[in-house]
Structure 1
Amino acid sequence: MAKAQKKEGFLETVKTVVYAVAIAVVFRTLFFQPFWIPSESMKDTLLIGDFLFVNKMAYGYSRHSCPWSLCPITGRILASEPERGDVVVFRHPVNGSDFIKRLIGLPGDTVQMKGGILYLNGAEVPQTPAGVFSEVYERQGPMGNEPRCENAPVGQGGICTKSRALETLPGGRTHHVLNIDKAGFGDDTPVFTVPAGHYFFMGDNRDNSQDSRYGRAIGGVGFVPAENLIGRADRIIFSSAGSSLFYFWTWRADRFFKAVE
């Protein structure tokens, strides 16, 4: 009798664990996706080692935010339209890898960079100086990338700096942008007209981002189809300055539950 009760109790525990895992998987699949920042293309909004959850329901269902077997048979359903200034995770239109950038151009917009300044629909997007972004010149994250510096060359352990400005998009949303190069490759572009059903993305670290300014043939993302959007990044959960997320002694104390703006 005791053995039977013990076996029954064990089976109940196993069932509970299985149900909990199944619920967690469904919750992750439908609503949120963890994302870790591997590169410096979104500094200083997002740093290498930031760990966040992406809100997959921000824009509704798509084939990338929800498996077909769990989505309505109608396919994509827009809960709300993406807004200019959102920080968005999306699938690269060619290789399918996950990218995170800021949404700059909506369908029908014209986008151009002139002298490092953004122009939307022919109007200059204002920037105001916002000091300097500084960091130690050293290998960062598991990939061991070294930061690019406006004050290069910088030796190991030196202070790497980039000019910072506050950019104000139409509608009043603001965010920081960084500058590394004068007259860099992406500082002067042709006029891009965003097609219907597509979006134009840029990194906040403007001279260190392969984004919609660059064609897919040279590693950029070009215009991103709406169906490739995965979700919106709303809040950083925690951030590690070390080579692993699990090195808790390297976690940045000022980035716990920090809003993504």
Structure 2
Amino acid sequence: MTKAQSKDEGSWGKLVRDIAVILLLVLGIHSCVAKPFYIPSDSMMPVLRNGDRLIVSKYPYGWSYASASFHLAPRTEGRWFAALPARGDIVVLEHPETRIDYIKRVIGLPGDTIELRGGALIINGKPVKREIQPMLSIPIDPNLPGPDSGLGRFATRDAAGRPVLELPIVRETLPGGATFDTIDMGPGYVTDDFGPIKVPADHLFLMGDNRDGSADSRVPSSMKGLGGPVPFEAIAGRAEIISFSTDGTAKWYNPLSWFTALRSGRAGTNLRPERDGSANRE
């Protein structure tokens, strides 16, 4: 072997090692610190829209098998450095059966009794504060309404003739003070009446903000729901901020469209719920 051949082989070996280190570093950040997440549906409207891109932090609740990227880790019980979410946090989780990523809001903690009557949420026997808000007008685009959405019934046109969704909004305030907007499409939905059910130890009750269009803890797994309270170890992380949002018009072959497809006013939106200091705290 000549010196030139030895040098070439050494250079290739160093390149392979460098690439391996970079991949491991990216995988470690993805699994332990933060990762991007794409919103593919309307189940978390009005806070999150189909086409939003988020940053999800991995460390606030400790780590479990669900923290690993690409669902490669075997399922195990428990968490390392565990810390329970607060009511109102938006969390990403692995579906307990399918291992598909879901995003929902924490409504019930271990020991809570959850009930819905006529679409009104009741926690531990006390109705959650509900305040009707003005109708929310959101522009319709190729990403909104999302696939299989029931929000199309609210399509109309604004004063300028542009297509919009006029959405009925109800603001909820959970025990502990988390306050956020939900969509209530009206009576007649199966998920309007549920429970009561007590959340087991080491489990969480999760719901979507689009209350009549979310496959969550109220919905059987046979209907793509979560099938009840979710084990704490299935939680992968907490949604923190919207990094950017697109309207569905971008084309991979047209770089200019990557910019024109950006929705204005979405980037930088903080996804931590507001806290009402006057609410009862537990």
Name the TM-score class by shorter chain: 0.7 to 0.9
- 2:58 aligned residue: 56
CA change 1:190–1:74 in 2 (3 A) is: closer
Are 2:120 and 1:109 aligned? Answer: no
Are 2:234 and 1:228 aligned? Answer: yes
Q: What is the distance in 1 between the residues matched to 2:77 and 2:183? A: 42
Q: What is the distance in 2 between the residues matched to 1:31 and 1:180? A: 37
- 1:209 aligned residue: 214
5+ residue gaps, structure 2, are 253-257, 273-282
Q: What is the distance in 2 between the residues matched to 1:212 and 1:146? A: 18
Q: CA deviation at 1:242?
A: 1.5
**Residue aligned with 2:96, SS:** coil
Superposed counterparts of 1:228-247, under 5 Å: 228-242=234-248, 247=258
Are 2:31 and 1:29 aligned? Answer: yes
Q: Pick from 256, 265, 270: which aligns with 1:254?
A: 265
Q: What is the distance in 2 between the residues matched to 1:74 and 1:180? A: 38
Are 2:87 and 1:84 aligned? Answer: yes
CA deviation profile, 1:79-128 (whole Å, cap 9, x unmatched): 42111111001111121111000000111111111122111001010111
TM-score by length of 2: 0.79
- Identity, % of aligned positions: 35
Q: CA deviation at 1:14?
A: 6.3
Q: Is 48-57 or 134-143 further displaced after alignment?
A: 134-143
CA change 1:5–1:215 in 2 (3 A) is: closer
CA change 1:240–1:147 in 2 (3 A) is: farther
Tell me if the contact between 1:138 and 1:147 (Cα under 8 Å) persists in the aligned partners. no
Tell me if the contact between 1:149 and 1:180 (Cα under 8 Å) persists in the aligned partners. no
TM-score by length of 1: 0.85
Q: Is 241-250 or 124-133 further displaced after alignment?
A: 241-250
**Residue aligned with 1:88, SS:** strand
**Residue aligned with 2:195, SS:** coil
